[in-house]
Structure 1
Amino acid sequence: MNIIEYPEREQWAEITRRPHIDTTQLYDTVNGVLSDIRANGDSAVMKYEERFDHARLSGLKVSEEEIKEALDNTPKELVDAIRLAHANIRKFHQAQAFSGIDTETQPGVRCWQRSVPIDKVGLYIPGGTAPLFSTVLMLATPAVIAGCKDIILCSPPDAEGKINGAILCAAHVAGVKHIYKIGGVQAIGAMAYGTESVPKVYKIFGPGNQYVMAAKQVVSVHDVAIDMPAGPSEVCVVADDTSNPVFVAADLLSQAEHGPDSQVMLISTSRELFHKVEKELASQLAVLPRKEFAKKSLANSKFVLVHDAEEAMAFSNAYAPEHLIISTDDYEPLCDMVRNAGSVFLGKYACESAGDYASGTNHTLPTHGYATAYSGVNLDSFCKKITYQHLSAEGIRSIGHAVELMAENESLFAHKNAMTLRINELNNR
């Protein structure tokens, strides 16, 4: 890790900058796969499944028998944990329901707003070294609550053509009916364009590697909406002398083990804490199964020493982390200073893992500094807000002349005429 002591504010932008990845060749590959899928549908998808996932498939949709097999073979203890997490995620997201607004802006001018579900949504669930069955719950649960009619889930199969059993179990618990054995860029293309087997969706959700992220960005230009831009996962921990260095090290490692491009940042007012955390990192890292991933991530980590808590929070806001852990005894006043973060964890017991799995909040969050402008996935992500207005004759009298004047001064005379005709009709009664 790199220790940076008392950096000047002019240095913050450089310190918080994410690593640059040359994506020129990556986008060439992604565009080629997407073009093939758009033109050739299922046959192209199955070709790339064999090439990239080493699975020779005769069909793409998961059968009822495969789901039953997964449920039978998933340990009961894990199923119970999935059900507990699902219940908490459902409770938190149900509480986000929008009840609508209805107001009269002028006499005779009534405006209101309704929340309407997106009819068709696609969920991408990564497999590979870490099959993210928890992400199924995070995406499918609010989609079901919102009332999305078609929920399409894609996840890569193994070489035997089977999706991870825990992913299928979580999908069943969350209420997903349409599951497809498709991974990577080909999954994004299938959902964006539609194939003989896979329906086209209106919005795609879910994390993935750099190829998946690039594919989402490409298809979002003309074909489908996406949840948010994204990069490698990241955590920022704010700590001081009251923090538990054992917990802080564990929190940094829980993020670092995602992959070599994951980022961890520790901000503290205590130099002594840094030394304690360094020792803990070494001892905890030694026994981690994914320690090689974590080592590479930690090599690029940054420990930033600041003068006081206010500076710590200002630096965190400049970084705009995906996950922010305020691991101090005085977390309440610091919480009020948060301006940019995907999800915030308060106090020494609120580890990121809680939010990743079972507290109820969503773990699909903005990375790469996008927390300055984006929210994490929530119930509204699966809905559209549609506005309505009704004007009575009184409403025309209230705002009609103002509309005419504004349209005329924008040189949009057809706009003016649409109102003038109504005013004249009322005046001639």
Structure 2
Amino acid sequence: MEIEVPYGREKQSCNVPESVQCMYGKLRQVVPELDPSSQIRLAIENLIGDINQDKLLKAHKIAIAVSDLTRPVPSRLILEELFAWLNQLGITEDRIIILVGGGLHRPATPEDLKYILGEELLGRIKNIVAHDADNEEMLTFLGTSAQGTPVHVNKYFNQADYRIVTGMIDAHQFMGFTAGVKGAVIGLGGRPTITGNHARLFSPGAELGRLEDNPARLDLEDIGTIVGVDMVVNVILNDKKQVVNAVAGHPVEAHRQGAEYAKGIFGVPMNPADVVIASPGGFPKDLNLYQAQKALTPASQIVKEGGTIILVAQCIEGSGEESFEQEMALHKTPREVVESISSKEFVIGPHKAYLWARTLVKARTIIVSDQISPTLAKTLMVEVASSLQEALDMALPNYTSPEVAVLPYASSMIPIINNI
């Protein structure tokens, strides 16, 4: 049988022998009932929880946080609907500042802004700031969270009288789900804040698809209160990147309702497999290995001990993070990477080496990419193949009766492992 998975803006395909048992990990198919703008408008017209509207009406400056291009968030559509709603309340664009948050990703470029916002919005909005987590002059310190995380946030966001955060609810490997206040706390946070929060990934309960009693999420939302997020607008996308639902309102209550809906799409029953073919879902989720790694978390939950994971990710930006490469280069084996990072002070960037290597401890990993050199692959302790067919041909001979799992949108998937 022929299988096909996303790869950059295209696809990769291969033929699986009829003798091989093959199962697809497909997200639940949901067809949009409304066009995306109508979905978002409906959410804004039916707010969940209290957004302190009196505060909004009195605000002189409103800050709106949007995601950078590593997330397929329809920011332009969200902003268009938000602006229409704010205009109805008597709030004009000159009172609004747009903050493009990317956490520790590189700051958004003018070309990025054109892609994220579109030329029409760029012409309307006079105040746009690309956040830089390492620019101390752009940050304000607001104290520490209950768990001891130092809280640094973009000063323009802090100076606003009312703060709105937009985003996309997706599965997250240790915060449970993305979105909610994350677009401000991490997207517009300083390096110490992002580092302190991400250090919770080692804590029990910091798991894929889990929100309750999740220390990383609890810390995130505590910081969200400290930085003063007033309202969120979040969308849920299907595997075709179409908006199938949207929520707006209170930063936690609206997010919880959206995450509950997302669970019904992203939760996929699966059997353990010898070989797991995992795609992050194509561009922009496979922009670089730093982002594509997220597909390894569900894949590692499905693959059998000693099995093989084939990561199909174009990675036009290579590894995406020099410190990730440098950390991997310091060690000889994946287990050494895991033990070393677990025993020393947590540092963001190199933490990706821990998340990467913990998968390699369990399974052989082959990357399908025309952008990853053999030298980089060796540093990252993986093999590289130029096509999915080549990678599958490398993997199958190692098993007598192989079972193969195919995850076309692994970065959004929450595996529900069947007991067999």
Same fold, TM-score > 0.5, yes or no: no
Q: Which has the higher strand share?
A: 2
TM normalised by structure 2 equals 0.32
